[in-house]
């Protein structure tokens, strides 16, 4: 995948209309933003474009737009208000149900260099998620340059990230996007070795291509979480009623053979924390039992990696120079079953290796434990980072001009 993309540092936007696709998909409660991390994260690129004298037109999606009510509750108006405060200058909100409508066009027309406006939720246009031509053309008609700084949607080809990029001469990436490409791209394509990849989460089926691709790229692949038990079953072990994907047993065998052939280490749990039944509610206080992998209880379910496995996995991380982690080691929503996930987070926090967290649950776990600033990079896009790890070309990245 060509990852050497032009960024906002490679262009001169003085006097130009710059459409900047951000990720302002923030949680809202009664019209109030409850977590503004994504707004704060977008500021460096926006400030750079302002400082360079561009006419900065921001756009983003916000949630899914399905019902009539969504046109009221999923407006980006609160984001414009908060961004104005964060930037210390007015961010004019272009309230147009058709996103690029009379209000937006008039607002763009009236812009001076260094001004900022925000368009309405791009998903107010039905064509957005289908990369429809009309909306892509509308967006292209109000800008000279396109900047994509929304990694979370980079694995999707929508009007506001891919359609518009194909219709303008200059399409580059912003700082956030650049950081994701640098860390995830380098880790997969050009890692400092030893490179250890840690995969967890519920299902093997969700991560088939990630497992296969990472096995080729890494030196050690560590498997934890629910998906580990399909591997253990493939090894012929009793796994009780642990999570298993019967249709993927042959696949797991294939992966174990592939690891052997390639001379890669594939680490699986050597012991697990089992419960009588999956906790209900998920955080219920229930008794737990530790079993070695080769003698697991037939009437129990494994819901976390055990203490010996924690030691084994932490040891593998200690000598690594690059670590990528995606997916929890157990049912971490329950504190009794969170020890494995916590231990992996702690091991990553302690190592000197470049540590990359692939979004989603592992990112949440790392942040909850207060290790956020100890990681080299926490990806902002769960789905997008997984597709990166699969070695797929992301349409949102591919659409930017090469250097």
Binding residues: 23-25, 38, 61-64, 123, 156, 207, 333, 359-362
SS3 for 31-43 is: CEECCCHHHHHHH
Q: Which of 53, 185, 383, 391 is catalytic?
A: 383
Site membership for ligand AMP, residue 330 (CB under 6 A): yes
Which of the residues 127 through 186 are near ligand AMP (CB under 6 A)? none
Piece in contact with ligand AMP (CB under 6 A), picked from 73-81, 146-154, 172-180, 201-209: 201-209
Q: Evaluate the CA torsion angle 37, 116, 156, 71 in order and state its sign.
A: positive
Query: What CA–CA distance (Å, rounded) separates 119 from 124?
Result: 11
| CB closer to ligand AMP, 214 vs 331 | 331
Least Cβ distance, residue 118 to ligand AMP (angstroms): 32
- Is residue 56 close enough to count as binding ligand AMP by CB under 6 A? no
287: left (phi over 0), alpha (psi -120 to 50) or beta: beta
Burial of 85 per CB tally in 10 Å (0-12, 13-18, 19+): exposed
Residue 383 appears among annotated catalytic residues: yes
End-to-end CA gap in the chain: 13
- Applying CB under 6 A, among 206, 216, 260, 315 the residue interacting with ligand AMP is 206
Sheet order of strands, 271-275 included: 289-292, 271-275, 301-305
State yes or no: is 163 an active-site residue: no
Name the DSSP class of 154.
T
Choose, from 225, 240, 330, 360, the residue flagged as catalytic.
360
C-beta of 9 vs 206, nearer to ligand AMP: 206
Site membership for ligand AMP, residue 286 (CB under 6 A): no
Smallest separation (angstroms) from ligand AMP to the CB of 231: 12
Q: In what order do the strands lie in the sheet with 55-59?
A: 91-94, 116-119, 55-59, 17-21, 145-148, 170-173
According to DSSP, the β-strands at 32-33 and 28-29 are: antiparallel
**Identified binder of ligand AMP from the candidate list 52, 219, 245, 361, rule CB under 6 A:** 361
Annotated binding residues for substrate, as ranges? 23-25, 38, 61-64, 123, 156
Q: How many CA atoms lie within 13 A of 61 on its CB side?
A: 21
* Contacting range for ligand AMP; rule: CB under 6 A; set: 29-37, 67-75, 120-128, 330-338: 330-338
Name the helix (H) or strand (E) containing 103. helix 102-109
Interaction between residue 225 and ligand AMP (CB under 6 A): yes
**Residue 21 is among the residues annotated as catalytic for this protein:** no
302: contact with ligand AMP by CB under 6 A = yes
Rounded to whole angstroms, how far apart are CA atoms 230 and 224? 11
Residue 360 among the catalytic residues: yes
Instruction: Name the minimum Å distance from CB 337 to ligand AMP.
Output: 8
Write out the residues near ligand AMP by the rule CB under 6 A.
201-203, 206, 225-226, 243, 302-303, 327-328, 330-331, 333, 360-361
Q: What are the residue numbers of the active site?
A: 38, 203, 360, 383
């Amino acid at each position: 995948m060509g990852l050497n993309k032009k960024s906002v540092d490679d262009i001169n936007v003085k006097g130009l209309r710059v459409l900047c696709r951000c990720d302002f998909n923030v949680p809202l409660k009664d019209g109030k933003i409850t977590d503004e991390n994504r707004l704060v994260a977008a500021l460096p690129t926006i400030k750079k474009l302002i400082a360079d004298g561009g006419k900065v037109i921001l756009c983003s999606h916000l949630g899914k737009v399905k019902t009539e009510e969504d046109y009221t509750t999923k407006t980006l108006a609160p984001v414009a208000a908060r961004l104005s405060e964060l930037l210390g200058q007015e961010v004019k909100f272009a309230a147009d149900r058709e996103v690029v409508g009379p209000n937006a066009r008039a607002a763009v027309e009236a812009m001076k260099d260094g001004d900022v406006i925000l368009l309405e939720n791009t998903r107010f246009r039905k064509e957005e998620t289908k990369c429809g031509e009309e909306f892509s053309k509308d967006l292209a008609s109000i800008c000279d340059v396109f900047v994509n700084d929304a990694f979370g949607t980079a694995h999707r080809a929508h009007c506001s990230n891919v359609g518009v990029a194909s219709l303008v001469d200059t399409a580059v990436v912003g700082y956030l996007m650049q950081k994701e490409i640098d860390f995830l791209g380098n880790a997969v394509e050009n890692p400092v070795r030893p490179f250890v990849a840690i995969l967890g989460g519920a299902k093997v089926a969700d991560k088939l291509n990630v497992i296969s691709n990472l096995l080729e790229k890494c030196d050690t692949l560590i498997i934890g979480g629910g998906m580990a038990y399909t591997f253990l079953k493939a090894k012929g072990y009793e796994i009780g009623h642990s999570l298993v994907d019967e249709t993927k047993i042959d696949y797991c065998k294939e992966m174990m053979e592939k690891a052997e052939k390639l001379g890669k280490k594939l680490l699986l749990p050597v012991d697990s924390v089992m419960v009588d039944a999956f906790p209900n509610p998920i955080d219920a206080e229930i008794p737990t039992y530790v079993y070695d992998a080769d003698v697991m209880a037939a009437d129990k379910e494994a819901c976390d990696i055990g203490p010996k496995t924690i030691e084994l996995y932490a040891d593998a991380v200690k000598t690594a120079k690059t670590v990528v982690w995606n997916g929890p080691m157990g049912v971490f929503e329950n504190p009794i079953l969170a020890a494995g996930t916590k231990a992996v987070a702690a091991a990553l926090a302690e190592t000197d290796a470049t540590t990359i967290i692939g979004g989603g649950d592992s990112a949440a776990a790392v942040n909850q434990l207060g290790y956020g600033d100890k990681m080299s990079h926490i990806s902002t896009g769960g789905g997008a980072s997984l597709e990166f790890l699969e070695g797929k070309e992301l349409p949102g990245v591919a659409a930017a001009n090469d250097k």
